[in-house]
Amino acid sequence: MVRDIFSTVTKRYDFLTHLLSLYRDIAWRRFTAKKLRRGTTRRLMDVATGTADLAIEMARRNPAYFVVAMDFMAEMMALGARKLGEKNLLHRVCLVQADAVYLPFPSGTFDAVSIAFGIRNIPDKMKAIREMSRVVAPGGQVLVLEMTRPGHGFFGRLYVFYLQKVMPLAARVLSPNPAAYLYLADSILHFPSSSDFSDMMKSAGLHSVKSYALTLGITHLFVGYKEDEQCGVHGTP
């Protein structure tokens, strides 16, 4: 179902994502790339990379690094490849087609692994987080950027109205598959609260999990660390 949804919105994905997030998605990805901590592998991975925006930001900020941009949809990655070519990054960013719950890399390959607006679409979230944690090196980082439902105050209610009424209307006019945006709204409303999701990351074996509320809490960045085998538990940055 997720593949079907993204295959119908691929061509307009970037445009619609910028528009429906009021262009905040660019700042959110930038914030995520800034929080990234370098280690010794000099390798980073962006899971569910879509059209590779976060992978590009990661490569731009870390010129000595090699970045894997991974997704299971070839159509989205083809657009990403075009952007990477335009930015002259194809020698440092490698596109890999795979499923987030079976990452085709040995344990401890990367300093950090990110996922932006992707975990919401993965039914077995715990398995995906465990996989991301497996492929980071000891002491490495897992970063999850995701749209979340803000609290129940005035802004929270306004946002739910936007998701349930305004976004589907805009999508009906602008998108070839309005159902995709109904699904998007529904998946945001049903995403775990920030504290429940932080607990999920801890249950997956990550420690010092921190969540950053962005734009009044409509998006959160969650950052967790894999235990460092040499030091017991790795210190927070």
Ligand X SMILES: C[S@@+](CC[C@H](N)C(=O)[O-])C[C@H]1O[C@@H](n2cnc3c(N)ncnc32)[C@H](O)[C@@H]1O
- x/- mask, ligand X, residues 8-27, rule CB under 6 A, reads ---------x----------
Contact stretch for ligand X (CB under 6 A) within 69-77, 82-90, 103-111, 203-211: 69-77
- Which residues does residue 68 pair with via DSSP β-bridges, in sequence order? 45, 94
Residue 150's CB: how many other CB atoms inside 10 A? 19
Binding mask 98-137 for ligand X (x = CB under 6 A): -xxx--------------xxx--xx---------------
Q: Cα–Cα distance between 42 and 139 in angstroms, integer?
A: 14
Cβ atoms of residues 132 and 159 within 8 Å: no
Residues 86 to 105 in contact with ligand X, rule: CB under 6 A: 99-101
**Which residue has the closest beta carbon to ligand X?**
50
Torsion sign (Cα): 97, 116, 19, 26:
negative
Contact letters for ligand X, residues 29-68 (x by CB under 6 A): -------------------xxx--xx--------------
Instruction: Provide, rounded to whole angstroms, the least separation between the CB of residue 135 and ligand X.
Output: 14
Number of helices and strands (H, E) in the chain?
10, 7
Neighbouring C-beta atoms of residue 112, cutoff 10 Å: 28
CB of 234 to ligand X, least distance (A): 26
Least distance CB 72 / ligand X (angstroms): 4
Residue 117 or residue 225: which is nearer to ligand X going by CB? 117
CB of 47 to ligand X, least distance (A): 7
Of 102 and 229, the one with the shorter C-beta distance to ligand X is 102
In whole angstroms, give the CA distance from residue 88 to residue 141: 27
Q: Are the C-beta atoms of 200 and 126 separated by less than 8 Å?
A: yes
When asked if residue 217 is in the footprint of ligand X (CB under 6 A), the reply is: no
Q: Among candidates 103, 105, 57, 114, which has minimal Cα distance to 80?
A: 57
Consecutive H or E run containing 32 = helix 24-35
Question: Does 204 help bind ligand X (rule: CB under 6 A)?
Answer: no
Alpha carbon of residue 134 to chain centroid: 17
Rounded to a whole number of angstroms, the minimum distance from the CB of residue 40 to ligand X is 26
Per CB under 6 A, does 159 bind ligand X? no
Q: Provide the minimum distance between the beta carbon of 220 and ligand X in the complex, in angstroms, as a whole number.
A: 14
Strand boundaries in the chain, DSSP class E? 43-47, 66-71, 93-97, 110-116, 136-147, 207-214, 219-225
Residues that bind ligand X (CB under 6 A): 2, 6, 17, 48-50, 53-54, 71-73, 76, 99-101, 116-118, 121-122
